[in-house]
Structure 1
Amino acid sequence: MSFATRIAAFRVRLAAAFALVVCGSALASGAEAALPERRVALVIGNSAYTAVPPLANPMRDAKGVSAALKRLGFEVVEGYDLKMDDMTNVVRQFAQKLDGAKAGLVYYAGHGIAVGDENYLIPVDASLRSEADLDFRAVNVQLVLRQMQRDERVNIVILDACRDNPFAAQLAAKSRAVTRGLTPIETQSASGILIAFATDPRATALDGERDGHSPFTDALLKHIETPEVSITTVMDRVRADVWEATGKKQKPWTNSSIIGEFKLNPTVKLASADPTDASAAKAINAAVPAPAMPSAPVFDRSQIDIKTWEAAERGNSAADYRAYLDAFPSGQFATFARNRLASLEAATPPANAAGAVAAATPGVTDEALKAETGTAQTETAMKLDAKARRELQTRLRASGFQPGKLAASFGPSQRKAILEWQKSRGIPETGFLTALQATALREQSEPAYQRLLADEAKAAAEKKSRAADRGRAGKTRGGVADAGEEMYQRDLARERGVAYQGPAGQRAVGTTSSGYQGRVRQRGGASSDSAGAAAIGSIIGGAIMGGILGR
């Protein structure tokens, strides 16, 4: 088939769709085409719990579901690692957007707990010591349901919140009403609602492998965008996949009162039209000009993200990873890119402040910092050696925080300093760092860090100089004594008209210090000169004494 023939067939196929539009506009009633029905979703993913160990996958699960719902045409209100006030705020925003919507959907991933007949969603800052705390530090699922049921619409609630919950163990000792997992929610009192749990009531679900999705959300993402399938069929397929994937250990549970079928991804069916209608074909020819050549393949942003990351991995340089982060600061591989960039920078630290600023990761924003939570795992992934840990402690001190004495590992005082720094930046306060947080600390502290290094180097040089001065002073004092003794001996030799003998005890040969030639007189020792002088003295003395006596 020639290219021209393919274009003609293409125009004929489009004639049916165009004819429907033309006929609709020509109706005597003047009725306008109905607008698509509004659908609103609330998506929450809580991973970075502070009072109990954090969860690996809820944030990633929620972001995957949010992206799928946006592709399905939902208006999405979303939030991640939310504290109590933040959770109530996003529920309020969701309630406001529901006004006039024909469908509402809620997806939650994180810790959940059941007490009696009530289910609660747990914010990341919750610290539950008694059953009464739930009313003030957790979000009751009924609060969310009340917002959804204010008007007639289809409502769907999906809770991947049945993980093994340490809060349940804390509260079980004080309340016999606390149960494992979540308790079933009755839907028969209201029509048009579907409740889906990741597993059976009062059972726990798996969180999944790290850096992946939970088994429940993994199956949900696989089926949620299937065209022309009702929500009940989607959940039936999810249940079957999870049952097999977990070795028949986890079975999702659904309760529904939806009448009829509600399809998450309905397709638009056009009315039939006569493809041989000349007027319709003429109109479509005018409205849709023939393409000059076959269109090139189109890659969506997700595919470009993957291709860019593969190129960065092949290059494996700091510049390649920064290029990836410039293009995709919140991409699928952004965390890995920041971790590898931090490792490369730690291996080759900049020699000065200018180099450090140049090597800093671009795009370290407050939003990016708040989206990451430091854990023991994120810090281990950074592979910090003792030198790098000491450097970070020095940078904390340069920034005004007190990590205590420098140590090869992070102890309580270092963790406290990290937590205080995180608090000052408004990011999750865990006392553990991520690669992005370490980069932000380096950027923030660089000028003060360089000044601190310079001051320490100057102090060390001054200390070394003072020690050298003390050593020279000791040698000088000893030298002065020796020089004084030598000067004394030289002067004595000059007065006596003899040659000076040096300190080594050797006789000087040649010209003496006074200009005379002769033998050296040794101090304190007998010589022929001294013996002669003594004899002459004896003779002169005898003569004098004889003269005196003779008188």
Structure 2
Amino acid sequence: MSVATRISVFRARMAVAFALVLCAVALAPAAHAAVPERRVALVIGNSAYSAVPPLANPMRDAKGVSAALKRLGFEVVEGYDLKMDDMTNLVRQFAQRLDGAKAGLVYYAGHGIAVGDENYLIPVDASLRSEADLDFRAVNIQLILRQMQRDERVNIVILDACRDNPFASQLAARSRAVTRGLTPIETQSASGILIAFATDPRATALDGEKDGHSPFTDALLKHIETPEVSITTVMDRVRADVWESTGKKQKPWTNSSIIGEFKLNPTLKLAAASATDVAGGSADAAKAINAAVPAPTMPAAPVFDRSQIDIKTWEVAERGNSAADYRAYLDAFPSGQFATFARNRLASLEAATPPANAATAAAAAAPAVTDEALKKEIGTAQTEAAMKLDAKGRRELQTRLRVAGFQPGKLAANFGPGQRKAIQDWQKSRSVPETGFLTALQATALRAQSEPAYQRLLADEAKAATEKKSRTVERKGGTAATRKITYEGDEMYQRDLARERGVASSGTPRAGTTSTGYQGRVRQRGDATGDSAGAAAFGSILGGAIMGGILRGR
């Protein structure tokens, strides 16, 4: 079932539940569900003035306020860098949209000017040379107020237009009525209206940093979406923020005749709905239910507290059932729910497999070192001397540093610069003072931390030594056997060569062979008795033949 289908089914079930409850309560008065009231806003931001230097932030300020008002449910009529005709057209659109709305809001950022008791908003194409130009080339605020006050509603006007205005300087030379900033707007003649200026009347406001917001709009955006807060409270908070952020140079001004509280971000509450409306599928009732009943959300990922993590860690250690796993559990939870069991099983495993040396035994028997206790100790030359380490003990600690991921350099009988640097790196990893000198507690922590890797290293070294010894024995045995073996062909060659040189051969033919025949059998050098007898007979025959020939020749 898809998420959309789930939501539809869920809401249908809720509608039926509401109908049953309302039918059961017969005395409850029937009333229609309240529909959220329409609220309309006009937002204008003018920055790109053609007759005077442009302003940096009004467009950005207005767009930020427009986005916030849309999130608050306002229907927003907006425009930026507007000329005179565009501004009046936008005001007309706003007036049309106000029909039937329960609240209207105007936000303007840009140049504004006051002449006498009238305030004007300046379009970007304005060129003001005389006071008369204001009636034709600027928008009177009273024009906007008249559109807002045609019906009974809450009206809010927020003007970030009290900036340092070059038009005022141009007109001041020709009219004494031109004033600095804007003039106050009275609200007593009409109920339900709030006027907010970025600063006090007849004062100028700051434009703010480039690529940012003005101080006033920055504070407004910070507070405008605060839920369940009245508009007057919002403006009070804006005033306090601007006063502090500008170093008490700018103080926003507000005048209000709103009766009661008007909240920009109210919390929507479920209104009473009649059984007929709910069961009959009234559109208003459906809207009320949809707004009040949140859509079901996907289940969030489980969040474990420390006790649950303790249990999970113990389960992992128990499955592994090794000394290293139980030590890891005790390191994480030295006072955990299963700490006693972990120590008992650790002792059992270590009794079955004795440590390789005394240092390892001390590391295994030592209680778990807490981070708090470790951070309290500072290593010095004195604390290290008190450990009374011999050359073997120092080499062991260097090896443990290496298997723990730190590089002390070549093993040495004493700690040199490389070893001190490795100690400092280890101390930094454990958040203890980086002195380069160890304490007894730090050595215990190092041994506990490196124990699994250290034991693996010792086992690997022992295995490598055993294999090396086995290879040496095999090589020696093979050489001895080879030296006792020779071939008959080689022996005959050596004898012939000896006879040519007039020397006696050290080898003699083996029994059952001739002196010239190669039998291709392997034999031992020491077996030469039969060969000697054959050689003697052969020599006698050859000598007799030679002597007989000599005598016949005589």
TM tier, shorter chain? 0.3 to 0.5
Give the number of the structure whose alpha-carbon radius of gyration is greater.
2
Query: Normalized against structure 2, the TM-score is what?
Result: 0.46
Query: Normalized against structure 1, the TM-score is what?
Result: 0.46
